[in-house]
Amino acid sequence: MHKKEIKNLELTVYSEKLDNGLEIYIVPKDNVNNTYATYTTRYGGIHNDFIPANEKEMVTVPKGIAHFLEHKMFEQENGEDVFSFFSERGSDANANTNPRKTTYLFSGPNAFYENLEFLLSYVETPYFTDENVEKEKGIIEQEIKMYQDKPYSRMYNGILYNLFHNYPMKYPTIGTIESVNSITKEDLYKCYNTFYHPSNMFLVITGNVDPEKVIELVKKHEAKRNLKENNKIVLKEYDEPRDVANASEIISMDVTVPKTAIAYKFYIKDINMRKDKVYSAILNTLDLKLGTTSLFCEKLRNEGLITGSIDITGINADDFVIAVIDAETKEPEKVIKLIKEELKHIEIEEHELERRKRTGISDLVLVSDNIFRINNMLVNNIIVKGEIEYDPIGSIRETTIKEVEEVLKNIDFKNYTIFTVIPDKG
């Protein structure tokens, strides 16, 4: 068992990698009642082209299968209801899938070790039948329809579709009604056997626990599976052009105020700097130039062009960083034009960067106060950076204005797509 401090946050990470490849990370916090456990596979909505376990050829599976699989993992051969197991012990259970990972989770103040053993067991025992696969399709169809009624969800999916040519983030994690309907039991087993191997998974536990006891329990449980550490899974590599697939789209929906967004596709592979630093530099700059502390935002509000704020969201997409800038406005074209002009010449000043650093550091302290947020931070670290960041405050502090300038010099604002949702007439 390794023990390492996350500097300046009063957190200690205990970790261990088992013989079968499973990684375990534990952050104990004894002044809370609750404990939160997440069991994650590095497998999500974008992993649809790969070489399956024990095979040699690359295959393509229907889109939306990682999320479908997540739903189906709750099915147990003995008919046991997973949710009942946890709620009988006063715990909450759930799962979620995003483009890069699928996570199974529970939290609760009671029966932690029993719950943990059950979490491991149910995620490690798939049970798919033609019948239970068929039944799930109706539920997921309703879930897809629910998202189709949400303007921001439509906007997000539309932007990603228009940004990419080949990169699989082009398609929503949930899939489409057609792709979901084509999923079979055999597809599910193929994906399960490939991506749910312990070498591709990790456990993160935060809260009121004893690290030694956790590791002992997991070791004992995993030993029974008799699995050896696997080689890395071969995923298809995508040749993604730097330009966007489609420069603009307008849809109409049952909304009152139009919503508009401009999404930039920044190619960052050639910038000689840690990817997360590049990402932060871009997002911090956009926030300073367009966010609520900017003169630009103040001007738009005073002119009545926007009422709230301009929101900025970043997405990591391997060789690219995507920045989505969106606003609600009655004059979408004008607002987009002004944003584009504003971003033609950008510079940031030392004191502005200092202010962003202060904000970043205080956010980290708040994260360290909450077992759910600590857990999410670690899972994110592992998925996005491949490892845990043990000095996140230091990393913020050491950022210099030179680094930010270096990033700004090397990104190109030419590649973007515009997406607008306008009210429908009916």
Our finding on whether 184 is near other proteins (CB under 8 A) is no
Is 349 a binding residue for other proteins by CB under 8 A? The answer is: no
**Residue 293 to residues 318, 344, 426, Cα–Cα distance (Å):** 30, 19, 38
Active site includes 70? yes
Q: Which of 93, 336, 374, 396 binds other proteins (CB under 8 A)?
A: 93
Buried b (16+ CB within 10 A) or exposed e, 100-130: bbbbbbbbbeebbeebbebbbebbbebebee
> Of 47, 325, 356, 403, which one interacts with other proteins (CB under 8 A)?
356
Bridge-partner residues for 266, per DSSP?
Answer: 321
Which of 195/419 has CB closer to other proteins? 419
Q: Per-residue contact track with other proteins, 261 to 300, x per CB under 8 A?
A: ------------------------------xxxxx-xx--
d(CA 65, CA 183): 7
Tell me the window of 17-25, 90-98, 181-189, 210-218 that interacts with other proteins (CB under 8 A).
90-98
Give the separation between CA 271 and CA 5, rounded to whole angstroms. Answer: 30
Other C-beta atoms closer than 10 Å to the C-beta of 424 total 10
DSSP string, 348-414: --HHHHHHHHHHHHHHHHHHTT-HHHHHHHHHHIIIIISS--S-HHHHHHT--HHHHHHHHHT--TT
Strand positions, DSSP E, 78-127:
92-97, 102-108
- Asked if 328 is part of the footprint of other proteins (rule: CB under 8 A), the reply reads yes
- Which lies closer to other proteins via its Cβ, residue 60 or residue 366? 366
- Whether residue 15 contacts residue 2, with contact meaning beta carbons closer than 8 Å, is answered with yes
Stretch that binds other proteins, among 19-27, 38-46, 82-90, 197-205 (CB under 8 A): 82-90
Based on the shown chain and the rule CB under 8 A, indicate whether residue 110 belongs to the binding site for other proteins: yes
Q: Using CB under 8 A, which of 17, 42, 355, 373 touches other proteins?
A: 355
Q: Quick one: 106 or 202, whose CB is closer to other proteins?
A: 106
**Least distance in angstroms from the C-beta of 254 to other proteins:** 4
Q: Which helix (H) or strand (E) holds 178?
A: helix 177-181
Q: What is the DSSP secondary structure assignment for residue 246, as one 8-state letter?
A: -
The one among 307, 337, 349, 400 contacting other proteins by CB under 8 A: 307
In whole angstroms, the minimum distance from the beta carbon of 235 to other proteins comes to 30
What string marks each residue from 121 to 160 as x (binds other proteins by CB under 8 A) or -?
Answer: --------------xxxxxx-xx-xx-xx-x---------
Binder of other proteins out of 17, 89, 221, 334 (CB under 8 A): 89
Site for other proteins in 367-426 (CB under 8 A): 368-371, 424, 426
Contact between 247 and other proteins by CB under 8 A: the answer reads: no
Residue 21, phi-psi category: left (phi > 0), alpha (psi -120 to 50), beta (remainder):
left
For 210, phi then psi, to 5°, come to -105, 110
Dihedral sign of CA atoms 360, 366, 367, 368 in order? positive
Contact 200, 43 (CB under 8 A): yes
What does the alpha-carbon distance between residue 351 and residue 375 come to, in Å, rounded to a whole number?
32
Q: Which of 70, 222, 389, 403 is catalytic?
A: 70
State the minimum distance, in angstroms, from the CB of residue 196 to other proteins: 22
Q: Are 312 and 287 within 8 A, CB to CB?
A: yes
Minimum CB–partner distance for residue 166 and other proteins (Å) = 27
Taking alpha carbons only, the member of 90, 249, 32, 56 closest to residue 162 is 249
Stretch in the footprint of other proteins (CB under 8 A) among 56-64, 86-94, 190-198, 223-231: 86-94
User: Least distance from C-beta 308 to other proteins, angstroms?
Assistant: 6
Residues that bind other proteins (CB under 8 A): 31-34, 81, 83-84, 87-91, 93, 107-110, 135-140, 142-143, 145-146, 148-149, 151, 253-257, 291-295, 297-298, 301-302, 304, 307-308, 328, 355-356, 358-359, 361-363, 365-366, 368-371, 424, 426
